[in-house]
Structure 1
């Protein structure tokens, strides 16, 4: 690729010179952090953005910058209610969008939760698997008819997928001990596997999907974590990096964190990223060494058979066939 995009690239760097006038984009999780920045930069380049959020009042306040960007560029922002932890809300949101009948050029499944205490969604699913994976699984499948040829789906995963593969036998931790970051890892692996299988199912009609890792960013996502724990974790990673002769971890800014989402959704050659996992504005390499926890993707997260099995399990769990 000619553009030298990387870990420090921002959303504005990635979309410099890009005109998104007439493009319609759905972004979930627009009440804070990456979701707001993603919506802002897309609107700033003329896109009509539909922003989904559980708390519309919070989103209304958080997206003032998006509305300003849209007003300056000819883009627009519309907010819709979406609680990914409640499938009744997910279905109502999807059904309203389908009834409206306006096609999308891009869907960015950005919303999520990380490492909360054990809990269940309204439908009885473990909170992280239910919210991060199953909520988006139902939403995107229900609006698939609105994705026209040439459109893309970007599923926000995480380097945290390396904490754990999905557990197809016990997705809700009914027989295994709940470990917050293992559950997070399962849900993020599921986000990647979803992109793999969605891409396989829809590529013949010109709709492609990819998964991305935004990088380490200090956002509301970490609200369930003790700051002392985060610092201990960072110290451990930096000690490993030093031993391997690598530089210490640097937090990304929010515009740097959202860059890979818009790169994969708008700028990257589609054949390069479709069905793949991307980080720092490039396609990640396969890394099987368990000690390598700073870059790369595990093969289990891109396994087509695993992706099909997860899809079938997800359909059974939500009671719908897509």
Structure 2
């Protein structure tokens, strides 16, 4: 089957598998959980998010549609490292395997700000929070792969990484500031954060050959991320993507493909655009020096914060 012919009806059974999806209480995360629960029958799906009420509604929905699948919520704010560590520890206390981790949650082109831990807010949410979560869950992912033959990390990035700062890719010296450089800097901050997630996931593939780590772009979708933008930023998205925007159902296909396709049909460390098509890199997404610096910076920051 060509990847372009990908259909939900062709999804494999995921019997016995445990899945964790960040940002699973709304948008693409919610729909991803819904499709995996109803089409693949895994043993357990965990969704993370900040809103317990929204999570309870999602869980009720999924349990009605797929009563045989256990669904649970992990309270997690990706801009707050302590909540991530607590959620990861709760997951580890309850489980002996993790087959699929989908790093889906994110924010886009938000105004200037910093996280609870003092990092530029988009970088903290879209990248650093996921890096800590992955770090905490690496042992169970590795043991799952050793016992069952595969474990996957699917990172949801965006082709917006192409608008990361052109001269550096990531402005390391200013990551503990708001990086408020004026008009349009909300988009370069977004691109920087999505570039970091892509580069970090590629490095994971190089360091942990036992795992299947994949980076996906879902397409341009009119989700809450776009709807929550200011008027001018919404117009930028719509004007630059005329005829390219897709539905949420189309938007989740690439991530679900990466999470479920046969291991031999996906390249670990690969970047894919919808559906299963090798994506176009930028200068910085393939820069070895940037990859090394990002890995070392991340390790140092997490260690400094006690992780």
SS in 2 for 1:181: helix
For residue 60 of structure 2, the aligned residue among 64, 68, 71 is: 64
Partner of 1:195: 201
Aligned pairs (5 A) from 1:131-170: 131-147=125-141, 148-149=144-145, 150-164=150-164, 165-170=169-174
Q: TM-score, normalised by structure 1?
A: 0.84
Give the secondary-structure state (helix, strand or coil) at the position aligned to 2:4.
Answer: coil
Equivalent residue for 2:286? 302
8 A Cα contact 2:3 2:277, kept in partner: no
Q: Distance in 2 between matches of 1:136 and 1:17?
A: 26
Q: How far apart are 1:233 and its partner, in Å?
A: 4.1
What is the CA RMSD across the aligned residues, in angstroms?
A: 2.2
Q: Partners of 2:180 and 2:301 in 1: how far apart?
A: 18
Q: 2:93 aligns with which of 77, 99, 118?
A: 99
Query: Is 1:51 matched with 2:55?
Result: no
Which of 78, 83, 91 is the matching residue for 1:89? 83
Q: 1:85 to 1:17 in 2, by over 3 A?
A: closer
Structure 1 stretches lacking a partner, 5+ long? 239-247, 286-295
Quote the offset at 1:167 in angstroms: 2.2
Moved more, 138-147 or 56-65: 56-65
- The alignment covers a number of residue pairs equal to 292
Where do residues 155-234 of structure 1 align in structure 2 (5 Å cutoff)?
A: 155-164=155-164, 165-173=169-177, 177=181, 179-203=185-209, 206-234=210-238
Cα separation, 1, equivalents of 2:287 and 2:264: 20
Q: Specify whether residues 174 and 207 from structure 1 end up closer, same or farther in structure 2 by C-alpha distance, changes over 3 A only.
A: same
Partner of 1:31: 25
Contact 1:114 1:184 in 2 (8 A): yes
1:227 CA drift (Å): 3.8
- CA offsets 1:1-28 (integer angstroms, 9 cap, x no match): x33426xx5xxx1462511111110001
Q: Which residue of 2 aligns with 1:241?
A: none
Counterparts of 1:216 and 1:230, CA distance in 2: 12
Report the counterpart of residue 128 of structure 1 in structure 2: 122
Output the TM-score relative to the length of structure 2: 0.88
Q: Give yes or no for contact 2:52–2:75 (8 Å, CA) kept in 1.
A: yes
With CA pairs under 8 Å and 6+ residues apart, which has the higher RCO, 1 or 2? 1
Structure 1 residues 308 and 208: alpha-carbon distance in aligned structure 2, compared to 1, 3 A threshold: farther
**5+ long unaligned stretches in structure 2:** none
**Is 1:3 equivalent to 2:6 in the alignment?**
no
Separation in 2 of the partners of 1:297 and 1:103?
33
Partner of 1:114: 108
